[in-house]
Chain A
Amino acid sequence: MMSMHQQHAFSDAAPGATPPARGEPFAPAVELSQACVTFGRGANSVPALAQTSLRIAEGEFVALVGPSGCGKSTILRLASGLVKPTAGVVVVGGREVAAKALRIGMAFQNPTMLPWLTVERNIMLPLKIVQPFRSQYAREKKGAFRDKAHALLAQVGLKGFAGKYPWQLSGGMLQRANLCRALIHEPRLLLLDEPFGALDQFTREELWAIMQELWLAHRPTVLLVTHDLREAGFLASRICVMSARPGRIIDDAAVDFARPRSIAMTFEPDFVALNQRLRELIVDARSVPSAEESA
């Protein structure tokens, strides 16, 4: 399987795996070994993900791209434990994913704020659930935790919206709040399922920059599912391309543009070349879904 993956390097850095953040040892934060997922049983079963192996190192920012319906989101849901592999093993933080050995933050394309809570309380929800915050929640919800929520809101440009209800916010604002909720409990693994997909171009680019800033500040391991190749190139340190359904990883490329990256960078020749190559891969994957199967 691994032999079929091609390793590509762009710009100045050496090919191969991205260097781990802050000199930590290369321990995989997420590891899928021959994991596959089939929904339903018998004649009605739908293969969502063909046998896939994927290793994500601690502190890496990996983007998953591919044609729609190829199982990108399924990989994300495997890593979060929302879906169990039909076969194979999914290990997160050194343990089987159900053990929740790593603090996980997750943001979906749909912000799904709880409509009966204010933005502030929505964002503080993970603190109410996840240890060690959980045991302090009653004491700190009007103290340190609220300050934390307000600080994060200010960071994404939502200062002064803490007391509003979700329906009083626009789509872009909700998505910012969604990011805050995914980050407030300082997760070591951040799973993002097209969180910027429904936004307009300018809001999206603004949020990319905020996302990059947050990642550089906290350095969680990130797995981002996206349709947007510019987004993948701007944010990720590594891009995995998937084939059409049932998906598997057909290309694995390191992205080594210097950080912090700027939106202007996404129009430079190197970046455009990367974009172009990924695009062709996906177009091929869409038209001949089983080309690799016969090889």
Chain B
Amino acid sequence: MTNVAFRQKLWSAGLIVLFFAGWEAFCLISGMSDLILPRPSQVFATLWQRMPILWPHILQTLGTTMTGFVLGVALGVVLGAVIGVSRTAYDTVYPLLIGFSSIPKVAVVPIFVLWFGSGTVPAVLTSLSICFFPIVVNIATGLATTEPEMEDVLKALGASKLDILWNVGLPRTMPFFFASLKVAITYAFVGTVLAETVASNRGIGNVMMSASSNFNVPLVFAGLFILAGLGVALYAAFSLIEGRVTGWATRKNDLIAA
């Protein structure tokens, strides 16, 4: 690792420590009740003590989110490819898509519950419906903005539309795709927790809901910390894959670091 990159990591770690220290100090000095804002040390202690009980809920939320996310990505890629390749599809499908994505997903959860009962299914559907839109938009934009010169190289060889999509369109769209994955994974968590809060008896969303009705505020915060941790972990995982797959698109950083 180079010096610059290391110093950057040090700064961001320092900022996180500073944030928690400031929070802790604020609570201690102001004598804030832990029913309103618990100290981070309390939250971490709760997290540690309750971990055996929390663990199945973490797995539940993670599993639901990943299922919704994977389905959302699949749907998003297919829709995005169709919209990005065909001008007609772009013009006809977009208004409907924007209309759908403008609906607050909170309003949709009761409908899903009505159709499928409470539990995992509405949570999966909510996270799917909330996370597929950024993927559609990014895939479509990536494909629609592919340089015609690049396509001409293959067209002159007599390549089919599918050849061009596979060899030029999709690889060129990869940086857009990964950018949207990072947005979509955080959205997927929002969707899952939303549905769990409204209509489920399992998952972190449900834990936070019942903890808050018992005024167990440190446990509510522990749930928040878990969600943040999961979000960061998945974001980091995608960044890692992104670096491998689309390194060609981010060479500017390499040059600066070199």
Contact = CB atoms under 8 A, between A and B. Distances in A.
Nearest to A134: B163
A117 B248 CA distance: 8
A171 interface: no
A114 B163 contact: no
A117 B171 CA distance: 10
Given A108-B152, A110-B149, A125-B167, A116 B248 contact: yes
Interface string A256-273: 000000000000000000
A126 B167 CA distance: 11
Interface string A160-174: 000001010000000
Contacts, number: 60
Nearest to A108: B149
B172 A112 contact: no
B174 A81 contact: no
A232 interface: no
Contacts of A191: 156
Contact of B158 (A100, A108, A110): A100
A190 B198 CA distance: 66
What is the predominant secondary structure among interface residues of chain A facing chain B?
Answer: loop
Interface string A178-205: 0001000100000100000000000000
B156 A81 contact: yes
Given A116-B171, A116-B248, A128-B167, A106 B156 contact: yes
Contact of B157 (A104, A114, A116, A167): A104
A112 B163 contact: no
A115 B252 CA distance: 13
A18 interface: no
A144 interface: no
B7 interface: no
B155 interface: yes
A129 interface: yes
Nearest to B175: A116
A116 B172 contact: yes
Interface string A112-145: 1011110000000110111000000000000000
B155 A82 contact: yes
A223 to B, nearest CB: 12
Given A115-B248, A116-B172, A129 B152 contact: no
Interface residues of B, number: 21
Contacts of B147: 112
Nearest to B166: A128
A77 to B, nearest CB: 9
A226 interface: no
Interface string B143-182: 0000101101111111100010001100110100000000
Nearest to B147: A112
Contacts of B172: 114, 116
A238 to B, nearest CB: 22
B167 A104 contact: no
B156 A104 contact: yes
Contacts of A125: 153-154, 157, 167
Nearest to B149: A112
Contacts of B158: 81, 100, 104, 129-130
A82 B159 CA distance: 11
A104 B159 CA distance: 12
Given A108-B153, A129-B167, A165-B248, 20 more contacts: A80-B156, A100-B158, A104-B156, A106-B152, A106-B156, A110-B149, A112-B147, A112-B149, A114-B153, A114-B171, A116-B171, A116-B172, A116-B249, A117-B171, A125-B157, A125-B167, A126-B157, A129-B163, A130-B157, A167-B248
10 contacts: A106-B152, A106-B157, A108-B149, A108-B153, A112-B152, A112-B153, A114-B168, A115-B249, A116-B171, A185-B157
